[in-house]
């Protein structure tokens, strides 16, 4: 029976295809070596080669690969997610057939000695080939990685097994050894890199150090993020599957987090999205497909075209949807980061309302245009006979009710977000304060547009019960002293009146402004829309913008609360700025 040894060298290059192929060529051109797999990882910037052959051939193949890499890889310029200390980071030999572990140790020793002599680089022995217990595990040898080598090599306890004790910047150092078959098992997560790594630290045998060992014996682990796949991974190596089984690693990971792995759609047979996903099988509706599925450029182009729809209602919904999306973004920019770890539970509560509202508001972009289209269709109905007139009138009234319901839903959806946005401003990532500003104004714009769309359509509805029901529903503007009273307040003489009828907001309780029953004409905007001349708060500059660069202005439901300047529940102060905003800045 012929002897077979497996060699799995890991080279610190996963992005340059020419270098990857050159190393592959050096292995395949070695007599007796069969290259089984080449696994390149761009995020890790690392390529793992797997090849087999007789012991002497495999040693020669590994040397040929190292010779090629030494001409092509400069470790002083290397960056990647995976821990590494050299151009050829690690080169293990594994018994496959007719070979003992001791013979693989001899392979590692022969390879390490020849590599050190030919390239004049430091080489360490690990695993079954280690000469001391302190070097049995690869993480122990690789501690500090490439950057720590200049000082590490000067320490007597870390003198290499072969080669010089001097630092070689272009190469670094190499570990070679003998081991059993290793199972590389990666679990995909919808999380951040930091969250994945915390899970790995809790599971791997090394844990977080000698005083905090992990739960799983013979398991190595790390958490990282794959940019090319847009997901995080808990990446583990099972050094002995008889000690810790594969399913144990998965179950423990699930226990640590709610893990979402790949769907496995192509596990049993090829999966073609165009053949298996309904949305791909059902053709879209040509030029009339929904506004929400159009590109931003196309949507803006349609808004600016010579047509009544999409109009202000769709634009208001789009603005509000983006405001909600910004709230979600700020939450996600806080969630899962080590410095904000105490806030993870808070962010898990705050993020979903923004995501759900953003999806709902995006759908309203189409709903508003569809409501207007239904009204136009009713306008085109014939009116030659009494029956046709009745049918047309009923259709028009239904269209108007729909045209009122859509913006009213928009306003109420936005109104539900103000408490969450206020709390997010208290404890969210301060680097996102400008995003919170935009979110608040975008949401306010959505409510503002919704209000006028309700008014303009409500006046033509003849169903008094419906009008009364709508007039009793109230949603809040960002200013706590202003509500949107949907009951028309009577006629006014402003230029807007001819176009939209009653266009007034009723003040609820603002000192120095008209009382609750007095109409406030928008040709002279109330203070929550434009601060009165001379009444600007000294903490602000311009039209209500915060002078303090750390400040954030958000809606506030009641004055006098206190919120923190740090991402924690204490220290950031909330103060009134006129009657327009709450200014969130450093507490004092």
Mean pLDDT of the chain: 75
> What confidence score (pLDDT) does residue 117 get?
95
Q: How far apart are CA 205 and CA 220, in angstroms?
A: 6
> What confidence score (pLDDT) does residue 383 get?
83
Q: How far apart are CA 306 and CA 303, in angstroms?
A: 8
Residue 537 has pLDDT above 50, yes or no: no
Listed in sequence order, the DSSP H helices in 145-215 are 145-152, 193-203
Mean of pLDDT values over 429-451: 86
Residue 565 has pLDDT above 90, yes or no: no
Quick check: 417 and 320 in contact, CB under 8 A? no
Q: How far apart are CA 362 and CA 372, in angstroms?
A: 17
Residue 61 has pLDDT above 90, yes or no: yes
Q: How far apart are CA 71 and CA 73, in angstroms?
A: 6
Q: How far apart are CA 583 and CA 556, in angstroms?
A: 9
Q: How large a percentage of the chain has pLDDT more than 70?
A: 73
> What confidence score (pLDDT) does residue 486 get?
31
Q: How far apart are CA 454 and CA 136, in angstroms?
A: 73
- Of 155, 170, 1, residue with least CA distance to 72: 170
Active site residue 82: yes
Q: How far apart are CA 479 and CA 469, in angstroms?
A: 24
Residue 566 has pLDDT above 70, yes or no: no
Residue 119 has pLDDT above 90, yes or no: yes
Residue 21 has pLDDT above 80, yes or no: yes
Q: How far apart are CA 542 and CA 536, in angstroms?
A: 8
Dihedral of the CA atoms 309, 310, 312, 315 (nearest 10)? 180
Mean of pLDDT values over 136-163: 92
Mean of pLDDT values over 55-80: 94
**Cis peptide bond upstream of 310, omega within 30:** yes
Mean of pLDDT values over 352-367: 88
Quick check: 62 and 45 in contact, CB under 8 A? no
Residue 50 has pLDDT above 50, yes or no: yes
> What confidence score (pLDDT) does residue 194 get?
83
Tell me the CB-side half-sphere exposure of residue 525, using CA atoms within 13 A.
10
- Of 479, 520, 317, residue with least CA distance to 408: 317
> What confidence score (pLDDT) does residue 275 get?
60
Residue with tokens 């349609």: 302
Residue 278 contacts by C-beta under 8 Å, 6 or more apart in sequence? none
Mean of pLDDT values over 167-195: 89
- Of 48, 63, 178, 87, residue with least CA distance to 126: 178
Beta-carbon count within 10 A of 356 CB: 15
pLDDT digits (tens, 9 = 90+) for 284-318: 443 345 556 667 777 777 777 777 778 788 888 88
pLDDT digits (tens, 9 = 90+) for 187-205: 888 778 888 888 999 899 8
Please give the structure tokens belonging to residue 272.
């073609």
Active site residue 583: no
466 CB burial (10 A radius; 0-12, 13-18, 19+): middle
Mean of pLDDT values over 2-14: 93
- Of 477, 494, 478, residue with least CA distance to 486: 477
Of the candidates 89, 161, 366, 368, the residue annotated as catalytic is 368
The H-or-E segment that residue 374 falls in is helix 344-379
pLDDT digits (tens, 9 = 90+) for 321-337: 999 999 999 998 888 88
> What confidence score (pLDDT) does residue 9 get?
97
> What confidence score (pLDDT) does residue 158 get?
93
Q: How large a percentage of the chain has pLDDT more than 90?
A: 29
Residue 215 has pLDDT above 60, yes or no: yes
Beta-bridge mates of residue 219 = 238
- Of 1, 220, 219, 180, residue with least CA distance to 93: 180
pLDDT digits (tens, 9 = 90+) for 443-465: 988 888 888 888 888 888 887 88
Residue 61 contacts by C-beta under 8 Å, 6 or more apart in sequence? 7, 26, 27, 30, 32, 33, 51, 53
Q: How far apart are CA 96 and CA 36, in angstroms?
A: 13
> What confidence score (pLDDT) does residue 114 get?
97
391 CB burial (10 A radius; 0-12, 13-18, 19+): middle
Phi, psi of 552 (to 5 degrees): -135, 135
Residue 326 contacts by C-beta under 8 Å, 6 or more apart in sequence? 435, 436, 438, 439, 442
> What confidence score (pLDDT) does residue 238 get?
87
Beta-carbon count within 10 A of 561 CB: 13
More confident residue, 275 or 68: 68
Beta-carbon count within 10 A of 247 CB: 8
Beta-carbon count within 10 A of 270 CB: 8
pLDDT digits (tens, 9 = 90+) for 365-403: 888 778 777 777 877 888 888 888 888 888 888 888 888
Please give the structure tokens belonging to residue 582.
């709450």
Phi-psi region of 223 (alpha: psi -120 to 50; beta: other; left: phi over 0): beta
Residue 49 has pLDDT above 90, yes or no: yes
Beta-bridge mates of residue 172 = 86
More confident residue, 242 or 63: 63
Q: Could you give all domains of the chain from N- to C-terminal order, each with its CATH number? A: 4-178 (3.30.990.10), 183-266 (3.30.70.670), 295-473 (1.20.120.680)
Phi-psi region of 551 (alpha: psi -120 to 50; beta: other; left: phi over 0): beta
Report CA 114 to chain centroid distance, whole Å: 47
> What confidence score (pLDDT) does residue 425 get?
84
């Amino acid at each position: 029976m012929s002897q077979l040894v497996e060699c799995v060298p890991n080279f610190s290059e996963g992005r340059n295809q020419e270098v990857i192929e050159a190393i592959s060529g050096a292995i395949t051109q070695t007599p007796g070596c069969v290259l089984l797999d080449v696994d390149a990882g761009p995020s890790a910037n690392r390529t793992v080669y797997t090849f087999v052959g007789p012991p002497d051939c495999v040693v020669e193949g590994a040397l040929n690969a190292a010779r090629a890499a030494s001409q092509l890889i400069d470790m002083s310029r290397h960056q990647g997610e995976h821990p590494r200390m050299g151009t050829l980071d690690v080169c293990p030999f594994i018994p496959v057939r007719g070979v003992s572990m001791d013979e693989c140790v001899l392979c590692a020793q022969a390879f390490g000695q020849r590599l050190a002599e030919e390239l004049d680089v430091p080489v360490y022995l690990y695993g079954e080939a280690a000469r001391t217990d302190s070097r049995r595990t690869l993480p122990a040898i690789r501690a500090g990685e490439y950057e720590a080598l200049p000082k590490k090599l000067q320490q007597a306890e870390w003198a290499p097994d072969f080669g010089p004790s001097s630092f070689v910047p272009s190469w670094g150092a190499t570990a070679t050894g003998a081991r059993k078959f290793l199972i590389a098992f990666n679990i995909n997560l919808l999380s951040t890199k930091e969250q994945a790594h915390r899970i790995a630290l809790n599971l791997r045998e090394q844990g977080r150090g000698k005083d905090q060992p992990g739960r799983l014996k013979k398991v190595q682990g790390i958490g990282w993020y794959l940019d090319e796949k847009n997901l995080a991974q808990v990446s583990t190596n099972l050094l002995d599957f008889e000690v810790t089984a594969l399913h144990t690693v998965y179950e423990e990971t699930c226990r640590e987090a709610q893990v979402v792995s790949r769907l496995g759609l192509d596990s049993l047979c090829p999966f073609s999205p165009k053949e298996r996903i309904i949305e791909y099988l059902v053709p879209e509706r040509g030029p009339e497909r929904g506004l929400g599925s159009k590109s931003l450029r196309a949507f803006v182009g349609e808004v600016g075209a010579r047509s009544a729809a999409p109009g202000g209602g769709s634009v208001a919904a789009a603005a509000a949807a983006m405001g909600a999306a910004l709230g979600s973004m700020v939450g996600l920019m806080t969630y899962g980061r080590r410095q904000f770890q105490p806030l993870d539970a808070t962010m898990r509560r705050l993020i979903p309302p923004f995501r759900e509202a953003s999806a709902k508001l995006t759908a309203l972009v189409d709903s508003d245009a569809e409501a207007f289209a239904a009204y136009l269709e009713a306008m085109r109905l014939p009116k030659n006979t009494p029956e046709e007139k009745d049918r047309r009138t009923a259709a028009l009234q239904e269209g108007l009710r729909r045209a009122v319901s859509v913006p009213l839903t928009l306003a109420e959806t936005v109104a539900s977000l103000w408490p969450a946005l206020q709390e997010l401003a208290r404890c969210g990532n301060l680097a996102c304060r400008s995003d919170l500003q935009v979110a608040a104004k975008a949401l306010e714009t959505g409510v503002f547009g919704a209000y006028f769309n309700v008014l303009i359509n409500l006046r033509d509805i003849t169903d008094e019960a419906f009008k009364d029901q709508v007039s009793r529903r109230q949603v809040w503007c960002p200013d706590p002293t202003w509500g949107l009273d949907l009951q028309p307040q009577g006629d006014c003489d402003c230029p807007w009146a001819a176009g939209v009828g009653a266009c007034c907001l009723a003040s609820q309780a603002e000192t120095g402004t008209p009382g609750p029953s007095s109409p406030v004409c928008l040709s002279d905007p109330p203070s929550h829309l434009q601060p009165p001349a001379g009444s600007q708060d000294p903490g602000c500059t311009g039209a209500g913008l915060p002078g303090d660069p750390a400040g954030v202005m958000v809606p506030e439901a009641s004055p006098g609360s206190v919120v923190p300047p740090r991402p924690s529940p204490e220290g950031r102060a909330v103060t009134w700025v006129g009657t327009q905003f709450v200014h969130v800045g450093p507490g004092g």
